[in-house]
Structure 1
């Protein structure tokens, strides 16, 4: 089941499961030591998928306005959900939310290099140089509503 909530709309168990998924992936699996929880969580829409059978959060992203554009990040799927198409469905849900909340705003993200291809399928374009964030190579990507290339 898909959910879109602010932090104030979530209960503590929902937020706990989201943080567990983020920490399991970004801190433990990717072996990065950094503050996973930050102030952006307070201002974001949290888009997440909960498996109806297990009750576990299997996919997640947060979406918020920053510095004159819309951005999203902490995009993650659980180990068990990888390869099922959940990541693509998550990006689709994020883009729908962006179009509803900020219909004319540019979307700029910072993508880990390893998943640039996923975002390119949706019409994102890289710009600028590769940079290292929390020990992982990233690149900035831009999307403008109406440039969706997924169905080409």
Structure 2
């Protein structure tokens, strides 16, 4: 498998991936998925054999980097693309002065995935776009 993770300015491709996963597959309302923060975010794109299969973004808030909008197309799951995206985001955050932690809001079913990457869940379960989530953190 030829999997490449890179920073990207191709927000349109990220939007297409997110639309397919979040809006079409998970029934997240478009108004909640499109939050107007993409222009201030750093985006990462996962490509397998030249085709985009997943993405993630980072927003900086104080001394934390918030990883979000992490998605992998159904046909790309189970091949390590999600883990590679998270690792790329964490590596990027580790290289930034003053950033002490990576945080994210995990869908509850994905908590074990993030725990395997070193994240720890904290706080209560909450509803985000009709899906149960829990906050997670990784000290950098």
| TM-score category (smaller protein) | 0.7 to 0.9
Which structure would you say has the larger Rg? 1
Aligned counterparts of 1:90 and 1:38: Cα–Cα separation in 2: 21
**2:48 maps to what in 1?**
51
Deviation of 1:80 after TM superposition, in Å, equals 1.2
**1:98 maps to what in 2?**
93
Which structure is higher in strand share?
Answer: 2
**1:4 maps to what in 2?**
7
Deviation of 1:2 after TM superposition, in Å, equals 2.5
Which structure's relative contact order is higher, taking Cα pairs within 8 Å and 6+ residues apart?
Answer: 2
RMSD: 1.7
Deviation of 1:34 after TM superposition, in Å, equals 3.5
Q: Deviations over 1:45-82 (max 9, x none)?
A: 101122344xx311210011125421111101111110
Aligned pair count reads 136
Aligned counterparts of 1:4 and 1:79: Cα–Cα separation in 2: 22
After superposition, residues 1-80 of structure 1 pair within 5 angstroms as 1-5=4-8, 10=9, 14-35=10-31, 36-53=33-50, 56-66=51-61, 68-80=63-75
Structure 1: where are the runs of 5+ without partners?
146-152
Kept in 1: contact 2:68–2:104 (CA 8 A): yes
Query: Partner of 1:89: helix, strand, or coil?
Result: helix
Kept in 2: contact 1:108–1:140 (CA 8 A): yes
Write out the 4+ residue segments of structure 1 that deviate beyond 3 Å after TM superposition.
none
Kept in 2: contact 1:34–1:134 (CA 8 A): no
